[in-house]
């Protein structure tokens, strides 16, 4: 099977756009699914996060759009707001070869009024979460009569989050002759039921999710249940990753582990389903820009994470399912980099190690914590500090305005300013710890676009 995009019969302008975006050759999931997607077939695809699956459905979806019709023609359902934003951003990049293609994100945790206003002006593609999509359908502000492509992205996680009924209700309101593309990291029974109900003779494609041992180093450490907190601290102190996700199986465990790590001096944050959207946004911003080292998360809450250089994954709790374990560790060692996956397990969980070994077709490597050199008391401090500014897109604040405020009168080097994230009403900027006080003084006492904004350290 050829891996060149030129083999797909795509427009010359799209091929040039793909080259500009750095899409050299197709990833395995793209090579297996795109020919069927472009041929109009329904597809059920199994692929892990980071495999290039967005382009696998978006390239075909874009080819079917009629830019002169401003009704919704493509609908993508995602489990979380973060994943929806990432998918919409990538579709906009892929759509640059066509004029006036409007992509709209509809998610909860944001005011519904501005979304209604945007829908009144029309949109070709809508990306959103099932709950908010249903809100608009109930209000009559979203019409799906013109949908020709329906995508369910990370469908297994939407099932885990209890979205089965909303997904079915939304799908039933789209035309019967639409194309339905279903992407999932795992194949639980509910996925087969969804496919049977909403797809017509689908093509099944699957990309092997097992990671090369040379790419991700996987080490397993036995630990007594009541000593797991100490064991986790020892792993972090020895390996001291600059960015690490610690997986727990429950929300309560997330909170407990985070509190324990904080009491030991680690910069840890919890990510779980009980967080308010604004708190969740801040947690993700601080982790992505290097202002915290450790993110303690559940599987569902971690969906949609887009951290390009995650140095390590630690399983505080082993998942009961081997494929979930593989999906977790796939968040490190991406784009050809080496990754590190560390797992704690109790004696009663040894059978899970056997399942993981069987699933991956290779034995697991069991190590002893006692073999790690003593490094107690070592705590890696985050290299960055994040500030929150009470001004965002609605206040016409742009990244360049914040960068200019810091590098101008404050005299801070641009290299000492990290990621700048702008939301509707807030902006977040990361600076190196060594210039944090100077940056705070400038943001607090100086002006951005000629205005003073409230600033606080996050």
Task: Write the pLDDT tens digit of every residue in 156-189.
Answer: 888 877 888 899 999 999 999 999 999 988 777 7
pLDDT in tens, 75-123: 999 988 888 888 998 999 999 998 889 999 999 878 899 999 999 989 9
For residue 287, what is the DSSP state? Answer: H
pLDDT score, position 221:
95
DSSP string computed for 136-193? HHHHT----TT--EEEETTHHHHHHTT-HHHHHHHHHTS-TT-EEEEEESS--HHHHH
Q: Please state, rounded to an integer, the average pLDDT across all residues of the chain.
A: 87
For residue 202, what is the DSSP state? Answer: P
- Report the distance separating Cα 275 and Cα 269, nearest Å: 11
C-beta of residue 219 within 8 angstroms of C-beta of residue 195: no
Query: How large is the average pLDDT for residues 226-241?
Result: 91
376 band by pLDDT with thresholds 50, 70 and 90: low
**Percent of the chain having pLDDT more than 90?**
41
**Percent of the chain having pLDDT more than 70?**
93
Q: What share of the chain is helix, strand, coil (3-state, %, to 5)?
A: 40, 20, 40
For residue 418, what is the DSSP state? Answer: E
- Report the distance separating Cα 232 and Cα 372, nearest Å: 12
The predicted model scores a pTM of 0.63
- Report the distance separating Cα 324 and Cα 318, nearest Å: 9
| Other C-beta atoms lying within 10 Å of the C-beta of residue 438 | 15
Residue with the bigger pLDDT between 338 and 32: it is 32
Q: Largest Cα–Cα distance of the chain, in whole Å? A: 67
Residue that the structure tokens 């079915």 belong to: 168
Query: How large is the average pLDDT for residues 394-404?
Result: 85
Q: Is the pLDDT of residue 48 over 90?
A: no
Query: How large is the average pLDDT for residues 2-21?
Result: 87
Three-state secondary-structure class, residue 236: helix
Q: Is the pLDDT of residue 210 over 70?
A: no
What string of H, E and C letters represents the secondary structure of 320-347?
CCHHHHHHHHCCCCCCCCCEEEEEEECH
Q: Which residues does residue 285 pair with via DSSP β-bridges, in sequence order? A: none
341 band by pLDDT with thresholds 50, 70 and 90: very high
Element (H, E) at 87: helix 81-94
């Amino acid at each position: 099977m050829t891996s060149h995009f030129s083999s797909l019969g795509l427009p010359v302008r799209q091929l040039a756009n793909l080259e500009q975006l750095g899409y050299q050759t197709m990833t395995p999931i793209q090579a297996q699914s795109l020919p069927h997607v472009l041929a109009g077939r329904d597809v059920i695809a199994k692929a892990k996060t980071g495999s290039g699956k967005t382009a696998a459905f978006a390239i075909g979806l874009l080819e079917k759009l009629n830019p002169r019709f401003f009704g919704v023609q493509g609908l993508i359902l995602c489990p979380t707001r973060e994943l929806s934003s990432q998918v919409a951003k990538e579709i906009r990049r892929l759509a640059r070869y066509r004029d006036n293609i409007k992509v709209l994100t509809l998610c909860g945790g944001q005011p519904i009024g501005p979304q209604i206003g945007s829908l009144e002006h029309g949109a070709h593609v809508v990306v959103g979460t099932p709950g908010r999509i249903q809100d608009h359908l109930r209000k009559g502000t979203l019409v799906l009569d013109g949908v020709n492509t329906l995508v369910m992205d990370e469908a297994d996680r939407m099932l885990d989050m209890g979205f089965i009924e909303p997904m079915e209700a939304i799908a039933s309101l789209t035309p019967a002759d639409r194309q339905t593309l279903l992407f999932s990291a795992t194949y639980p029974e509910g996925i087969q039921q969804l496919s049977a109900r909403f797809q017509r003779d689908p093509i099944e494609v699957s990309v092997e999710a097992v990671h090369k041992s040379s790419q991700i180093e996987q080490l397993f450490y036995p630990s007594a249940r009541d000593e797991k907190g100490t064991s986790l601290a020892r792993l972090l102190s020895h390996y001291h990753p600059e960015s690490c996700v610690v997986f727990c199986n429950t929300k309560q465990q997330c909170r407990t582990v985070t509190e324990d790590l904080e009491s030991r001096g680690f910069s840890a944050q919890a990510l779980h389903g009980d967080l308010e959207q604004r708190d969740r946004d801040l947690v993700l911003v601080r982790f992505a820009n290097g202002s915290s080292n450790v993110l303690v998360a559940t599987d569902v809450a971690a969906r949609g994470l887009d951290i390009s250089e995650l140095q390590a994954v630690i399983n505080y709790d082993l998942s009961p399912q081997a494929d979930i374990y593989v999906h977790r560790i796939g968040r490190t060692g991406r784009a050809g980099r080496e990754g590190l996956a560390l797992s704690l397990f109790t004696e009663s969980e040894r059978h899970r190690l056997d399942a993981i070994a069987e699933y991956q077709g290779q034995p697991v490597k069991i190590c002893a914590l006692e073999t790690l050199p003593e490094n107690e008391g070592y705590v890696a401090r985050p290299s960055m500090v994040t500030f929150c500014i009470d001004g965002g897109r609605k206040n016409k604040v742009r990244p360049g305005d914040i960068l200019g405020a810091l590098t101008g009168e404050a005299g801070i080097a641009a290299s000492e300013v990290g990621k700048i994230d702008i939301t509707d009403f807030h902006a977040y900027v990361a600076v190196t710890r060594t210039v944090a006080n100077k940056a705070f003084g400038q943001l607090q006492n100086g002006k951005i676009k000629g205005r003073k904004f409230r600033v606080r350290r996050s």
